[in-house]
Structure 1
Amino acid sequence: MNEVFSYESLVHAVSGAVGSVTAMTVFFPLDTARLRLQVDENRKAKSTPAILAEIVKEEGLLAPYRGWFPVICSLCCSNFVYFYCFHCLKASWLKGKQSAPSTDLIIGIAAGVVNVLVTTPLWVVNTRLKLQGSKFHNEDIRPTNYSGILDAFVQIIRDEGVTALWNGTFPSLLLVLNPAIQFMIYEGLKRQLRRGIPRELSSLEVFVIGAIAKAIATTVTYPLQTIQSILRFGQYNNTSTEKSKLLSSLRTIKCLLVNRVRKYGMLGLFKGLEAKLLQTVLTAALMFLLYEKIASCTFRVMGLSNNHYKRR
């Protein structure tokens, strides 16, 4: 119980949330480019600079930052929950012992499941707001009119039902592998660099291992991320009559994956990967750097730095 409500877990959670919000703000236009490439299938621009130039030309200079506030709110909550759960579970499981990659993976998956179930409604709303007012090249996309986060919640519940707030939950649950793989590689590389000696890593070391961990995790799970974005946007009509929601979700994911391969080939599953890798790798690297520095400064002020590094 002490691990669940520990001050140390709170420091990790706040550090992770602040780091991720700052990093996402810096690289937000790259995420806008990635989302358009995933959702707007008829857009001809293929590269990140080309699509950003197209968006600015068609929709104005601030268009790449459309939907920034709901994304930041969702990201702040999501990372707070994830970092808090990850470090609580790790402290409870290890009880001061050295961690291992398999342990980090299992703990990462468990923290990811909690995070998905709690924060998916926020991500559904932020996807809708981020794409609202965009000039789509796909004529089948229906325009939406939300005045803000609360209005989006109200309209979605009223028009589509409460369950629509959890659109894309199943691929999101599969995607808990993304942060789990990322944390497993990150923690493993961190242990390798320290080689058993508790020390604070340099800024460059943290940035590089954060980038490597995220690049591998993103590439492995990217096709599911595309399906997740399409489902969250709410424009896909699921005509399945399956009584089982699990079977229906599996069929929907399979159908979307197959349709995308038929239309664009295997590479269609990775449409927007360049923008995603550029954004997510830089964002994750900066986020881990800020997270480590904020956490270490806080622990140093508390006089806990030595114990803190030994436990990690």
Structure 2
Amino acid sequence: MSDPNQISFVQAFFCSAFAACVAEFCTIPLDTAKVRLQLQRKLGVDDEVGLPKYKGLLGTVKTIAREEGISALWKGIVPGLHRQCLYGGLRIGLYDPVKTFLVGSAFVGEVPLYHMVLAALLTGALAIMVANPTDLVKVRLQAEGQLPSGVPRRYSGAIDAYITISRQEGIGALWTGLGPNIARNAIINAAELASYDQVKRTILTIPGFMDDVYTHLLAGLGAGLFAVFIGSPVDVVKSRMMGDSTYKSTFDCFLKTLLNEGFTAFYKGFLPNFGRIGAWNVVMFLTLEQVRYTYYLAYAVIICNL
């Protein structure tokens, strides 16, 4: 990404939060489809025809839109934006400062890959510890559509969900699934941010490529692919822990999923997950690079006129 020495953490936080929110709004329909597919068990089939209710990315999106309305695809957008303001702003905004801290302020040259990975692991874990309640509420709202017809919805909206969960299950329940969520987000954050930097660095060594939108697009897709391959298993466990309170622990969820459905269940919803994370990374990094460039340009104009 651009030179972090020209931007403060507060400015980096707001740039990152804005870019993450834009990406969230554009891609949350794919995330809703992914969550529905992950929560669907092999035994949880349609009672009438004995077949899985949701099939594939487009099929799931079509089913949700037909049965619940188009707006249902954006169910969970409010806590999703809450999440990205906190989680996106912190994990991306802290990434460059933590990299600088790890290598030392006097370091000159390209930051080693293992330092980039470690920085992203740390910022991903820290950010989700703060933002876990927003993630929980988003998943709960996205899962609402799976309730049987005629059963009243548990929550009327995001704020009601925060209050209801705290009142009925205790404040600590807002951090349900924190263990797999830390694992998932630390790993995916490392895969996204470190791989984006590394892929972008590699692309720029190829003759004819410059630091422009085409390079950002390719690097964003590469980051999304790495993130999905590495993070899918913990992502499935996280979604099931948050969407279903019957599991006793993270290990219980992992073991029951493995024994009842096999290892492939951990890659359930892989294509919508890649579609979601790949698209999310492309939109987020393109937006972030442009927002930062605009800031640098405005800063340079102001300095030149002083």
Name 1:296's counterpart in structure 2.
293
- Does 2:297 correspond to 1:287? no
Deviation of residue 164 (structure 1)? 0.8
Matched-pair contact (CA < 8 Å) for 1:18–1:76: yes
Residue correspondence of structure 1 range 8-19 to structure 2 within 5 A: 8-19=8-19
In the TM superposition, what is the alpha-carbon distance from 1:70 to its structure 2 partner? 1.7
Letter in 1 for 2:240: I
* Aligned counterpart, 2:90: 81
1:273 and 2:284 correspond: no
2:256 to 248, 256, 259: 259
Aligned length: 283
Pairwise mapping of residues 18-37 of structure 1 onto structure 2 (< 5 A)? 18-37=18-37
Question: Does the CA contact (< 8 Å) of 1:40 and 1:136 recur in 2?
Answer: no
* Separation of aligned partners in 2, 1:33 and 1:164: 24
Instruction: Give the 3-state SS of the residue equivalent to 1:303 in structure 2.
Output: helix
Gaps of 5+ in 1: 239-251, 305-312
Does 1 or 2 have the higher relative contact order (CA < 8 Å, sep 6+)? 1
TM-score of the pair, normalised by structure 1 = 0.83
Determine if contact 1:15/1:292 at 8 Å carries over to the other structure: no
Paired with 2:202 and 2:88, the residues of 1 have a C-alpha distance of 25
Alignment of 1:109-258 (within 5 A): 109-132=121-144, 134-136=145-147, 144-175=153-184, 176-195=186-205, 201-238=211-248, 252-258=249-255
Percent of residue pairs identical: 20
Q: Give 5+ residue unaligned stretches, structure 2.
A: 46-51, 302-306
Give the CA deviation at 1:152: 1.7
Q: Name the CA shift for 1:223/1:116 in 2 (closer, same or farther; >3 Å).
A: same
Separation of aligned partners in 1, 2:247 and 2:198: 42
Partner-residue secondary structure (3-state), 2:222: helix
Change (3 A) 1:196 1:92: farther
- Summarize deviations over 1:184-241 as a string: whole Å, max 9, x none: 11111222233499x9611011111111112112111201101101112242242xxx
1:254 CA drift (Å):
2.9
Residue 150 of structure 1 deviates from its aligned partner by: 2.8
Alpha carbons 2:247, 2:253 under 8 Å: kept = no
1:263 maps to amino acid: N
Look up the SS of the partner of 1:62 in the other structure: helix
Query: For residues 200 and 14 of structure 1, what CA distance do their matches in structure 2 show?
Result: 26
**1:103 partnered with 2:115:** yes
Q: Secondary structure at the match of 2:9?
A: helix
What displacement does 1:114 show? 1.1
Q: Which amino acid aligns with 2:192?
A: Q
Conserved? CA contact 2:28–2:77, under 8 Å: yes
Shift of 1:5: 12
Q: Does the 8 Å contact 2:20/2:89 carry over to 1?
A: no
Distance 2:284 2:181 in 1: 21
Q: Offset at 1:143?
A: 6.1
Kindly state the Cα deviation for residue 123 of structure 1 after the two structures are TM-superposed: 1.0
Closer, same or farther: CA 147–5 of 1 in aligned 2, 3 Å: farther
Contact 2:258 2:265 in 1 (8 A): yes
Residue in 2 that maps onto 1:249: none
